[in-house]
Chain A
Amino acid sequence: MIDLSLLAKAVGDLDEDKMLELLTEFVASNPTEDEAQTVVGACQKGMEVVGDLFECGEYFVGDLIFAGELMTQSMDILKPVIGSGGEAKAGKIVLATVEGDLHDIGKNIFRSMAEAAGFEIHDLGIDQKPEAFIQKIKEVQPEIVGMSGVLTLALESMKKTVEKLQEAGLRDTVKIIIGGNPVTVEACKYIGADAFTTSAAEGVKICQAWVNN
């Protein structure tokens, strides 16, 4: 059986070669679905370490991006052995870069870290109108809506999206978190979001606190 703590350490250290080696060996050993789930858990633990190292200033944004890439790779390798059941999701998040903004790096970092933390992510992509959020929220009924943006014009689109959710009677069914370069405590109040962050790792922690309450 695979050494789970070694795997978690490889992910936490962003040691791609070691991680791939361990996972490839594991998949070749023809594991059960339960065993595969514990391996997913070890990868998630490694991602938590990455988040912590980022928060304490040892890792930087580039490290989070690379960690996201490692998570995608590990899930691709594990897919054939995980099975369809899987564990219960931590919660659902509808996520997008808001209207007028084409930037998606921050959103993608958040997505990979939130997925690693067990959230089911519905990523609408970039430059998304409020109507797209509304349609998706009605369809999947998420606990959380994540709005991302890099340009300052995104703040207005975020505000507009919150207003449209209000009009559609959906505002109080979800928690809203905004993220990206221009968000501040003032912007958060102005927009009417529940939380803001410029750190994907912190954003995931906020979402976890919401669904655990």
Chain B
Amino acid sequence: MSGMGEQLGLSQTSGEGRTQLFKDLFAGIKPQRVPLTNSSSVEFSIAHAGLNIAEVLWDLPKLEYVLDKACRDFISDTVPIGGIRIPSYYQILGSRPIVMSSSGFMQHPEVVGLLAEEYDEFISSPYNCIVEKIIPRLYTALDTEPDKKALTLAKAMKAYCDDYAVLGDIRAKLIEKYGLASLSSVTSEAPFDFVADFLRGFKGIIGDLRRYPGKVAAACEAILPYLIKKGSSPDINNPGFVFLPLHMAPYLRPNDFEKFYWPTFKALVEAFVEAGKTVNLFVESDWMRYLPYLYELPENTVMRFEFGEPGVVKKELGERHILSGFYPATLLQTGSKQQCLDQAKELLEILAPGGRYWFQLDKQILPCNNTEKVANNLQAVLQYVYDNGKY
């Protein structure tokens, strides 16, 4: 079956044509060519534009120049915004889970929002526990009297709305100017990952699995409806997706994965698909031992793999799901141009046949000291995929 774009005679470099590539892709229809995304982080694009990361993140209108340059310099079907973390509201909230490092790059360090002895409280009323215990612990500026708390929250929401309005405006301009696909997205998390990332920490949950396994499972069940709700609002357009950055599974024993991670993760994905949404997974680290589980997810789930064997994944999942990733972002830093192109060629040959493939790197490109080399390699790779990813 050929893509709708071809039938409609849409240009592959118009916004409409590019949007159609993703409509086809997410519907499991072979698009006119392999859709491709410039996987630069906003921070890398800032460095590429020769500006200071912290300065631009604190003064978002400057991003227009940055992203305009990124769109001019690198072929991409989408706006290279990715998973931006804006410091303004995190700082106002006194955030511990998301903080800026010395390089200006926002990161998620290990935090504990819920103490082990508070599991029962969380399980019986997740919402109350989040509002009363967890939020003040993780967002320290909210750990104060109610009147100050209200002011801080109002300030943070204002900063959030202002910054996202700026971002939305820049995005819309670039989509128009460069004829890019308009993809909307909303982020949620697998319940086990949420419990690990924001409640108990990586180390905490690993101990909990042995000490109070029943409570871990119950906490995942308790938070599931909230994570479904988080991924459901605001509503997303077609094409759009619910993004789930998967985290903990590769670090667990297969038995623990099956008992604690999989049931609520599967239920979450199914709930989104039942509501007519596309689910886009970032499959962190190596999931090779879980491929039969991934197969079971609803048809046309998008899976961006970090590590693993592309050939095996294509064979096992390629007729049911939409594959992406595998291209090592670090190769752009360490490899020659020829090595970078060879890698792109190899992945195209393995993953593109038959469709259901979206070219993205295995993860975002982060800022580094040799921006120019990475930029040159990235340019060459994206051009190669654009020229050779035709069906």
Contacts and interface: CB of A to CB of B under 8 A. Distances in A.
Interface in A174-213: 181-182, 184, 186-187, 189-190
A62 interface: yes
A104 B110 contact: yes
A62 B251 contact: yes
A153 B99 CA distance: 16
A61 B289 CA distance: 14
A118 to B, nearest CB: 23
Interface string B96-130: 00010111010101100000000000000000000
A187 B334 contact: yes
Contacts of B206: 62, 65-66, 69
A101 B110 CA distance: 12
Closest 4 interchain pairs by CB?
Answer: A100-B103, A61-B251, A186-B334, A156-B368
Contacts of A190: 333-334
9 contacts: A62-B209, A65-B251, A66-B206, A101-B107, A152-B363, A156-B333, A156-B370, A160-B369, A184-B330
Nearest to A69: B207
Contact of B102 (A60, A103, A127): A127
Contact of B203 (A69, A100, A153): A69
Contacts of A159: 369
B103 A153 contact: yes
A152 B101 contact: no
Nearest to A58: B253
Given A60-B251, A63-B253, A182-B330, A153 B110 contact: no
Nearest to A109: B203
A14 interface: yes
A186 B109 contact: no
Interface in B315-334: 328-331, 333-334
Contacts of B110: 104-105
A4 interface: no
B103 A152 contact: no
A123 interface: no
A152 to B, nearest CB: 5
Given A100-B103, A151-B105, A187-B334, 6 more contacts: A16-B210, A65-B206, A126-B109, A129-B102, A152-B329, A156-B333
A99 interface: yes
A17 B202 CA distance: 21
Interface string A93-137: 000000111111100100000000000000000110100000000
Contacts of A152: 329-330, 333, 363, 365-366, 368
A189 B252 CA distance: 31
A33 B295 CA distance: 56
A103 B107 contact: yes
B285 interface: yes
Most buried by B among A101, A153, A159, A184: A153
B372 to A, nearest CB: 13
Contacts of B99: 102
A166 to B, nearest CB: 16
A184 B328 CA distance: 10
Most buried by A among B256, B329, B330, B365: B330
Contacts of B365: 152
A61 B253 CA distance: 9
A61 B330 contact: no
Most buried by B among A61, A62, A155, A159: A62
Contacts of B370: 156
Interface string B187-221: 00000000000000011001101110000000000
Contact of B253 (A62, A101, A186): A62
Given A127-B101, A152-B366, A160-B369, A187 B330 contact: yes
A153 B251 contact: no
Contacts of A126: 109
B240 interface: no
B207 A66 contact: yes
A105 B102 CA distance: 19
Contacts of A99: 102-103
B17 interface: no
A65 B329 CA distance: 27
Contact of B109 (A65, A103, A156, A187): A103
A66 B330 CA distance: 30
B335 A153 contact: no
B355 interface: no
Contact of B105 (A14, A104, A153, A187): A153
Contacts of A155: 330, 333-334, 368
B181 to A, nearest CB: 26
Interface in B205-256: 206-207, 209-211, 250-253, 256
A190 B211 CA distance: 43
A16 B209 CA distance: 12
A69 to B, nearest CB: 6
A14 B334 contact: no
Contacts of A104: 109-110
B87 interface: no
